[in-house]
Copies of this chain bind each other. A is one copy, B any other.
């Protein structure tokens, strides 16, 4: 599948809040996930689909999502696309409500997402 078609499937699933389905169906077992920076208590890079699923679950367990918006995909060539994610969330441990906006850069290998990299400021 091309970057555009994988990106369209990923965006459609994420718009429905089915991020875990996107991981299960579109990601390589060897996927690497890289945050914009190292965060306390979590490595900047997660390796393997199980680690990526766990990070996703951790995020949903620790954030209440009030609303979200997923925009894209924005393809580049045959093997990459970018997606804009916007969320209005409350961080459950702190109780802080915040608007988050980040760009995900997805790189394919063999038609599957082999790398996801997130771009944002804290």
Q: How many copies does the complex hold?
A: 2
Q: Binding site of A, secondary structure by majority: helix, strand, loop or mixed?
A: strand
| Interface size counted on chain A using CB atoms at 8 A | 22
As a 0/1 sequence over residues 48 to 84 of chain A, the CB contacts with chain B under 8 angstroms (1 = contact) are 0000000000000000000000000111110011101
Contacts of A82 in B (CB 8 A): 82, 103, 105, 119
C-alpha spacing A105/B81, complex, angstroms:
11
Q: Are B117 and A76 in contact (CB under 8 A)?
A: yes
Instruction: Tell which of B4, B36, B81 touches A76, judged by Cβ atoms closer than 8 Å.
Output: B36
Docked complex Cα distance between A34 and B78 (Å): 13
From B34, B74, B81, B102, contact of A74 by CB (8 A):
B102
